[in-house]
Amino acid sequence: MNKRTFFFGAIIGAATLGSCTSNKTELPEPEVATTVVTNTTTEITYTSHVQDIMVANCTGCHGGSGGVNLNTYTQVKDQADAGRILARAINGSGGTMPPSGLMPQATLDTLQLWLDQGAQQ
C-alpha cells in the first residue's frame, strides 16, 4: 500500500469515526402509579395513596417470598409503627429501599404525610 492510499484511507476513517457521535439522551423515569399529594391538608390514606406506592416500589421484593411482607395495610402499618417505613424508604438508613435508589421526593413526602397523619387505612 502506498503512502497516498494509506493517507487518504486514514483521513476517510477518521472522518467516519468523527461523524459517529453518541447522541445519548437520558431515558425518562418510569411512570409510577402513585398519587402524589402536594396539599398537606389532604387526608392521606393507605387505600387512596400509599397502596399504589407500595405496589410500585416495594411488593416486587416484599410481597410474600419471606422476610418483610408489604402486601396489606396491616403489614405496612406494622412496619410503619416499628419505624421501618420511615427509616428504610424515607431516610435510607440500613440500606436504601427500593434498592434501585430513593423514591422521588414527592412520593417520599406523601409517605411522610401519611405517617404524620397516623397511617390511616
Residues of the domain holding 101: 34-116
Instruction: Give CA–CA dist 87/80, Å, rounded.
Output: 9
% of the chain residues with pLDDT over 90: 40
* Residue bearing the bigger pLDDT, 59 or 34: 59
Query: For residue 22, is it within any domain?
Result: no
Query: For residue 89, is it within any domain?
Result: yes
Q: Are 87 and 13 in contact (CB under 8 A)?
A: no
Total Cβ atoms within 10 A of residue 104: 14
Over its C-alpha atoms, the chain yields an Rg (Å, rounded) of 25
User: Length of the chain, please?
Assistant: 121
Number of domains composing the chain: 1
CB burial class (10 A; 0-12, 13-18, 19+) of residue 23? exposed
pLDDT of residue 114: 95
Q: Render the burial of 67-94: b for 16+ CB within 10 Å, e for the rest.
A: eebbeebebbbebbeeebbbebbbeeee
pLDDT of residue 58: 92
* Residue bearing the bigger pLDDT, 14 or 76: 76
Query: For residue 111, is it within any domain?
Result: yes
What is the mean predicted confidence (pLDDT) over 58-86? 90
Phi and psi at residue 45, in whole multiples of 5°?
-125, 160
3-50 pLDDT, tens per residue? 555 454 555 544 444 444 444 444 444 444 445 555 668 899 999 999
Query: For residue 10, is it within any domain?
Result: no
Taking 50 as the threshold, does the pLDDT of residue 107 lie above it? Answer: yes
Query: For residue 60, is it within any domain?
Result: yes
pLDDT of residue 5: 53
Query: For residue 72, is it within any domain?
Result: yes
Phi and psi at residue 88, in whole multiples of 5°?
-85, -50
pLDDT of residue 82: 92
Query: For residue 92, is it within any domain?
Result: yes
